[in-house]
A and B are shown apart, each in its own frame.
Chain A
Amino acid sequence: MADPVLSIRNLGVTLTGRDGSVTEVTANVSLDLAPGEFVSIVGPSGSGKTTLLRAASGLRAPTSGQISFAGRQLSGVAPGISVVFQEYNKSLFPWLSIGRNVAMGARRLPPAQREEHVREALHKVGLDGFASRYPWELSGGMQQRAALARALVSDPQVLMMDEPFASVDALTRGHLEDVVADLWERSSFASLLVTHDVGEAVYLSDRVLVLSARPSRVLAEITVDLPRPRTQTQTRRLARFVELEAQVLERVEEAGRVAVGLDPAAPMREGSLR
């Protein structure tokens, strides 16, 4: 494997509540993301997936462990890492038109190139002609595509997505998955996707990591050897897809069972899990 573009070593994040309560969200997570690779992180709800992504993107400083991005220690948000959030309606700036929203992603580019890049990014996500519209004039799926355009306009090395399709209906979700898959295949960025949708993780990824319940660690790593390009109708019907999906789901359920204490035999806090 080539040198990873993003490397997380023994990451731990402990959150302190306003009342002083301390929660260990992430205990010990390590992962490598190769350039151009697509990795998904799944896990039971409350397993600290979002916290992990916030740490990996530099939005939150980890309590312990190291994160290095492009060969350097990550200390805060970095150009080259873009993030798409679940709540597109809270992530797009409502006071800016779609075009100007996307242009915010191009702030680091030389002014002369911005307009061209914005137009190109909107074209890639199929939003030609919507530059002057305001976010609320667009449907949810279109808004999330605009957020994608904004994330990709700066030509990042890593695209991180936190449940990006969780707030749209099932049909739109499938379409958005294909938009992402298509953009990813045509570009060189690596992708780190957090999702609770196992099928989605398998459909999009090269590798799926299953997190344990909190305090989370990597419970399993499943390599997805499905051929590309993938399509909703073809790929999801493959025996191998169904098998992989079941495999991942099994591990997620296992993690969930441990979380609610239904499986006392499972060694959660002590010992190695793999």
Chain B
Amino acid sequence: MTAPALSGPRARRVGYWGLGWLGAAAAAAIWQLVSALMHSSIFPTFTSAAAKSWDLLDGPVLHQDLIPSILRTLAGFAISAVIGIVVGMITGYYRAAREWTSAVFDFGRSLPTPLLVPVALVVFGLGGRMVVAVIVTAAVWPVLINTANATAGLEPTLVDTARVLGMRGRTFLWRLVLPAVSPQIFAGLRVAISVSLAVMVVAEILGGGSGIGYFISSAQQSFQITASWAGVVILCLLGWVFDSIFLLTERRLLAWQRGTVGGDVNG
């Protein structure tokens, strides 16, 4: 969190919240101003888009589209997290596993995910399961790669210590490797959550059958331009909420890390 204008941890936090929101308000104001000046039917004002999104959230869109989208994103993210962490720890720790999988993983993570939608449509059909599957193919990589790299670079003294203390097998993985690499896991998870959101939208546009992505594209195709912009606003909000919840969780779970806890601990 950086906002160098003020000094001291508390001031910095206030600065982040205060200035951050001020910046957001400025961006909205610029949107408002430009759209008002352009006076174009394809670019509604911020206030009308915001008002429309409020209407949408009050109507059937909430249950038909928004909640399914949230559930799909969370499911895709959760599956990616579990696979990424477990496979990442194993491939990171065992050199043979790492070498055997390196080429497969390199191909896998360079695959443009939307490419998989047609295939996933064939396998899972239209709808939620397809969306979740496509999310996983994209969101698993940042978690897996981060976890594997951190595990491979585990401090040797830490490993020796754990071994001398008699930690082996599952105990070793869960009580040494997992906490030791958790900062890097969290960094990967944070990327994964935004990837999950983005891929969710793309997959829904291409064949979700429902969901916020599906809503945006069908609104656009039926020339409900304001509604489709409202969908974008809702999506932004969703991304922000996910990221905020994520950061709060991280702050709690990684409180043992110096720096993450800010300057509050000794006070």
Cβ of A254 to closest chain B Cβ, rounded Å: 31
Cβ of A53 to closest chain B Cβ, rounded Å: 10
A94:B256 contact, CB within 8 angstroms:
yes
A95:B164 contact, CB within 8 angstroms:
no
Partner-contacting stretch, out of A36-44, A102-110, A206-214, A225-233:
A102-110
Partner-contacting stretch, out of A3-11, A26-34, A79-87:
A79-87
A82: which of B155, B164, B179, B256 is its contact (CB, 8 Å)? Answer: B164
Whether a CB of chain B sits under 8 angstroms from the CB of A137 is: yes
Whether a CB of chain B sits under 8 angstroms from the CB of A63 is: no
The total number of A-B Cβ pairs within 8 Å is: 51
Using known A-B contacts A85-B157, A137-B266, determine if residue A94 contacts B257 with beta carbons closer than 8 Å: yes
Contacts of B166 on A, CB cut-off 8 Å? 77, 79, 107-108
For the complex, would chain A's binding face be called helix, strand, loop or mixed by DSSP majority? loop
A95:B160 contact, CB within 8 angstroms:
no
Task: For the complex, count residues of A whose C-beta is within 8 A of B.
Answer: 24
Whether a CB of chain B sits under 8 angstroms from the CB of A143 is: no
Using known A-B contacts A87-B157, A137-B265, determine if residue A59 contacts B164 with beta carbons closer than 8 Å: yes
Q: Which of A149-163 contact B (CB under 8 A)?
A: 150
Instruction: Digitize A92-118: 1 where CB-to-B-CB distance is under 8 Å, 0 elsewhere.
Output: 011110000000110110000000000
A83:B179 contact, CB within 8 angstroms:
no
B179:A93 contact, CB within 8 angstroms:
yes
A90:B155 contact, CB within 8 angstroms:
yes
Residue of A nearest to B160 (CB): A59
Q: Which of A85, A95, A108, A134 has the most CB of B within 10 A?
A: A95
* Alpha-carbon distance between A82 and B158 when the two chains are bound, in angstroms: 14
Using known A-B contacts A93-B179, A95-B182, determine if residue A105 contacts B158 with beta carbons closer than 8 Å: no
Contacts of A94 on B, CB cut-off 8 Å? 256-257
Residue of B nearest to A106 (CB): B165
Whether a CB of chain B sits under 8 angstroms from the CB of A57 is: yes
Contacts of B39 on A, CB cut-off 8 Å? none
Cβ of B250 to closest chain A Cβ, rounded Å: 13
Instruction: Digitize B117-139: 1 where CB-to-A-CB distance is under 8 Å, 0 elsewhere.
Output: 00000000000000000000000
Q: Which of B218-267 contact A (CB under 8 A)?
A: 256-258, 265-266
Using known A-B contacts A107-B165, A137-B265, determine if residue A83 contacts B160 with beta carbons closer than 8 Å: yes
A77: which of B164, B176, B257 is its contact (CB, 8 Å)? Answer: B164
A91: which of B161, B179, B257, B265 is its contact (CB, 8 Å)? Answer: B161
* Alpha-carbon distance between A79 and B257 when the two chains are bound, in angstroms: 30
Contacts of B256 on A, CB cut-off 8 Å? 94-96, 134
Cβ of A25 to closest chain B Cβ, rounded Å: 16
Contacts of A87 on B, CB cut-off 8 Å? 157
A105:B165 contact, CB within 8 angstroms:
yes
Whether a CB of chain A sits under 8 angstroms from the CB of B74 is: no
Contacts of B182 on A, CB cut-off 8 Å? 95
* Alpha-carbon distance between A87 and B166 when the two chains are bound, in angstroms: 19
Contacts of B179 on A, CB cut-off 8 Å? 93, 95-96
* Alpha-carbon distance between A59 and B180 when the two chains are bound, in angstroms: 20
* Alpha-carbon distance between A150 and B167 when the two chains are bound, in angstroms: 14
Instruction: Digitize B145-172: 1 where CB-to-A-CB distance is under 8 Å, 0 elsewhere.
Output: 0000000000101101101111100000
Contacts of A108 on B, CB cut-off 8 Å? 166
Cβ of A85 to closest chain B Cβ, rounded Å: 5
* Alpha-carbon distance between A164 and B164 when the two chains are bound, in angstroms: 16
Contacts of A57 on B, CB cut-off 8 Å? 164
Cβ of A177 to closest chain B Cβ, rounded Å: 21
* Alpha-carbon distance between A90 and B163 when the two chains are bound, in angstroms: 14
Interchain Cβ contacts under 8 Å between A and B, 13 examples: A57-B164, A77-B164, A77-B166, A79-B166, A85-B160, A87-B157, A90-B157, A91-B157, A91-B158, A91-B160, A93-B161, A107-B166, A108-B166
